[in-house]
Structure 1
Amino acid sequence: METLTAASPTPLGLLLTTSAIASSEERTMHQMIKDAVATGDLSEFKAMVEAKKLPIQCIDAQNGWPILFYAIKYNQNDILTHLLERGHEEENCSTDFAGNTALIIAAESKNEKAIAVYAALYPHIVNAVNQMGQNALMIAASKGLTKGISLLLDLGADTSAVDEDGSTALHYAMSYGHAEASVLLIERGGVSMHIKNNKGFTAHDYAYSADLLF
């Protein structure tokens, strides 16, 4: 009588199993590095990376964030500088799954020092946009980051750019009630208050709604 034996895994099965293990290991490594960044201790971060031989370019599988973005988000600019010096961006400038650049993440995180550090090295991405058509200047305007806006303007940020809704950086500044940022965009950037977005609203309309006097 022939004995039934377990079937050998198919090549596809082996591939899926190996892939699952690799993905699990990548998530573990990324979490370890992320935790090291969150401590804010550069020496501890260096020690963990070296001791565990962790790759600094690993990506968060959930949002596509490289570890550099977490350094920016947590305002750990010493670690950010260290990563840049280690060549984190040598091959290409990082973007996440939504198309956000390091400058957009820095603006969203209100990390103006990170804007300065990163933009000084990679000024060519100042006008890069995410999947919603937003650039770093728009996000900086929405947060009222006057220093960040000035830095981006110095590097040639396009003040005439509009997002997928047709809104300019000035629309963002005024809709969020940032008077100083609005003045900066008008006086230095030459942005008009009277450009209509796709909804038919001008930046001045948003200023009125936000009780800004212009």
Structure 2
Amino acid sequence: CVSSYETTSSEDSSGEEDQDEVEEVDSSEPELEQGEESGTAQEEAAAAGEQGDGVQAEVAAGSKEPDARQVLMVLYQEWFRVSSQKDSQAETVTLYLREVGYHTPTLLRYIVNLADGNGNMALHYSVSHSNFSVVKLLLDTGLCEVDHQNKAGYTAIMLAALTAAESPEDMEVARQLLRMGKINARASQSGQTALMLAVSHGRTMMAQVLLDCSADVNIQDQDGSTALMCACEHGHTEIAKTLLDRPECDISLTDKDGHTALAVAMKASHSDMVELLKARADPATVTDPTAPL
């Protein structure tokens, strides 16, 4: 079960990209860990702060209507500056959208769903920054294409599975996002679901929320791994218990190497996990502490 969050690089970008894309920011892929100041492609791109310059110059140079195109590109660049920074404020985003809606209402949906060269929208950025006030604002527009995958094949829901949503307000926004999209969508490069990502990275609370929102516990990724196998590999015993509490959780499934979750736990030498799965596989092996000696 792959634990790292994969991203794309900017090597295959060109000046012929659609006008709704802004300049890609080359990024090496780090994991999105709770409390990190940086580390995702989204954070690095947002920190760069100048995502649209390259495309703006190329488009303006080759356009027959340079003035109109330049205005659009400025709008797009400003949108990412306003909406996609770590410190972006919902009030500022609201003002921007009101202005766009007032002057050019037909552009509003297009702006909200604008993707940069890596395929990341403002929703991807705000989720990865755990900026849930902006996430809620974007969702409340009713215009957000929440199932849009970036070039690495990740949706905002998958990124939400990795975030540090802790307060009740943040978790409610996360639930709103999960209810609006395809919770069991698979990342195109790995076949992993949001639940697998949450489990692999030890996001206990988020894993529970995903399960409460009908995440499928038995989906297998491209290697045949399930969420339970991910928990077994990484030693997340409490999350494994949460998964096993689901009556539909199938511990007999095997990955492409023919390994069950128990075999994965044994290979990783996680003794607590091994005992947990053995007890689940054969209840007769569990010692009753109330039984007479």
Band of TM-score, shorter chain = 0.7 to 0.9
Q: Secondary structure at the match of 2:211?
A: helix
In the alignment, structure 1 residue 64 sits paired with structure 2 residue 119: yes
Pairwise CA distance, 1:176: 1.6
Any gaps of 5 or more consecutive residues in structure 2?
1-57, 102-107, 276-293
Equivalent-residue separation in structure 1 for 2:262 and 2:196 (angstroms): 16
Q: Secondary structure at the match of 1:95?
A: coil
Aligned to 2:174: 115
- Cα distance per residue 1:50-87 (max 9 Å; x no partner): 568882322111x2011011110111101100011112
Q: Secondary structure at the match of 2:142?
A: coil
In the alignment, structure 1 residue 46 sits paired with structure 2 residue 99: no
**1:109 maps to amino acid:** T
Pairwise CA distance, 1:133: 1.3
Pairwise CA distance, 1:160: 1.6
Aligned to 1:32: 81
**1:41 maps to amino acid:** Q
**1:178 maps to amino acid:** H
Equivalent-residue separation in structure 1 for 2:261 and 2:116 (angstroms): 36
**Structure whose residues are more often helix by fraction:** 1
Pairwise CA distance, 1:94: 2.2
In the alignment, structure 1 residue 76 sits paired with structure 2 residue 131: yes
Change (3 A) 1:210 1:102: farther
Any gaps of 5 or more consecutive residues in structure 1?
1-12
In the alignment, structure 1 residue 183 sits paired with structure 2 residue 241: yes
CA RMSD of aligned residues (A): 3.2
Aligned to 1:6: none
Equivalent-residue separation in structure 2 for 1:52 and 1:87 (angstroms): 16
Change (3 A) 1:24 1:184: same
Aligned to 1:142: 200
**2:184 maps to amino acid:** N
Q: Which of 140, 143, 168 matches 1:85?
A: 140
Equivalent-residue separation in structure 1 for 2:132 and 2:174 (angstroms): 10
The answer as to whether partners of 1:33 and 1:49 remain within 8 angstroms in 2 is no
TM-score by length of 2: 0.57
Equivalent-residue separation in structure 2 for 1:110 and 1:210 (angstroms): 28
Equivalent-residue separation in structure 1 for 2:89 and 2:179 (angstroms): 24
The answer as to whether partners of 2:195 and 2:207 remain within 8 angstroms in 1 is yes
**1:142 maps to amino acid:** S
In the alignment, structure 1 residue 133 sits paired with structure 2 residue 225: no
Aligned to 2:14: none
- Cα distance per residue 1:131-171 (max 9 Å; x no partner): 12111111111122222222222232222210000000011
TM-score by length of 1: 0.76
Higher relative contact order (CA 8 A, sep 6+): 2
Q: How high is the sequence identity, in percent, across the aligned residues?
A: 25
Equivalent-residue separation in structure 1 for 2:217 and 2:174 (angstroms): 17
The answer as to whether partners of 1:99 and 1:130 remain within 8 angstroms in 2 is yes
The answer as to whether partners of 1:165 and 1:197 remain within 8 angstroms in 2 is yes
Change (3 A) 1:191 1:166: same
Aligned to 2:5: none
The answer as to whether partners of 1:133 and 1:163 remain within 8 angstroms in 2 is yes
In the alignment, structure 1 residue 165 sits paired with structure 2 residue 165: no
Equivalent pairs, count: 197
Equivalent-residue separation in structure 1 for 2:269 and 2:95 (angstroms): 49
